[in-house]
Amino acid sequence: MATATTHGARDHARAQHGTRTETMPVVPASDWPAAVPGTPVWAETVAGGNYTHRVLARGTELRLTDLAGDACAHLLLYVDGRPWERLNTADTVKVQWNAYLGADRLLLSDQGRVLASVVADGSGRHDALCGTSTLVRNTERYGDGAPQSPSPAGRELLKLAAAKNGLGPRDLPPSLSFFQGVEVREDGALDFTGSAGPGASVTLRAEQDLTVLIANVPHPLDPRPDYVCTPLEVLAWRARPTAPGDPLWDATPEGRRAFLNTFDFLTARGLA
């Protein structure tokens, strides 16, 4: 089909209507072909070397799935409308006395409040220590790290996701990585433990209204010389936030304090 004229370009564009690819959003999310636990609000398959973003309401549950065994979801969270309150990986680790993510862990801001909770984990291969890849590092390893290159860096993709939500490079803190693990040796060195294999998933619950940024790129400690990253499935549905009386609320003294801080803040704003 000729695209040299405006009419030809229009006809060519319209001819793509209804075309589906393996990696793309499903709009509306309710058209997602498989059942989910609640009303779908986000359904997307993110290609390796790509990114996505969305604003999710408090109580929404977000499930990430490593479809083929080589996805690596680098995640950033911000309180919607208050982006200065954001994911703090250092506090997430030190407040809970644990450097390893998994079920019942909390993702914390530097305000001592809960952004999200991990309600299910079928992977066990995650990382709260290394952050994502950078332009310089990817250029050294793969020859390029620009967003449009065959080997985009995670930070460069997160910059694009941030810009679409009114945020800039200075708003990008260290991220969490899901589906590619790291262990700390006795001497403090880090061992890359790889993935749990195809089909591993992790489910998060938004405990505040959140802006979510995700880059699906290789882990920075992945030792393979090639840029290897496979599709990531992203599904979200309506659910309920953690409330007083939930076992997670009282699982640890530190977690209870973080939930109380969150509840107190939301109550003052008429949101809880």
Higher pLDDT, 106 or 13: 106
pLDDT band, very low/low/confident/very high, at 20 (cuts 50, 70, 90): confident
Please tell me the predicted confidence (pLDDT) of residue 106.
98
Give the pLDDT mean for 145-159: 98
Q: Comparing C-alpha atoms, which of 128, 139, 207 is closest to residue 173?
A: 128
SS in 3 state form for 28-50?
Answer: CHHHCCCCCCCCEEEEEEECCCE
The model's pLDDT over 228-246, given as tens digits with 9 standing for 90+, comes to 999 999 999 999 999 999 9
Do 44 and 73 touch, CB atoms closer than 8 A? no
Whether 1 shows a pLDDT value over 70: the answer reads: no
Alpha helical stretches, state H, 86-196: 89-94, 135-142, 154-163
User: What one-character-per-residue DSSP string does 49-115 give?
Assistant: TEEEEEEE-TT-EEEEEESSS---EEEEEEETTEEEEEB-HHHHHHTTT-S---TT-EEEBTTS-EE
Distance from the Cα of residue 202 to its chain's centroid: 10
Residues 6+ apart with CB under 8 A from 17: none
**Other Cβ atoms closer than 10 A to 265:** 17
Residue with tokens 């990008």: 172
Instruction: Write down the domain spans for the chain.
Output: 43-268
Are 140 and 153 spatial neighbours (Cβ–Cβ below 8 Å)?
no
d(CA 269, CA 263): 10
**Torsions phi, psi for 29 (to 5 deg):** -60, -25
Side-chain half-sphere exposure of 40, counting CA atoms within 13 A:
18
Mean pLDDT of 258-263: 97
pTM metric for this prediction? 0.95
For residue 3, what pLDDT is reported?
Answer: 78
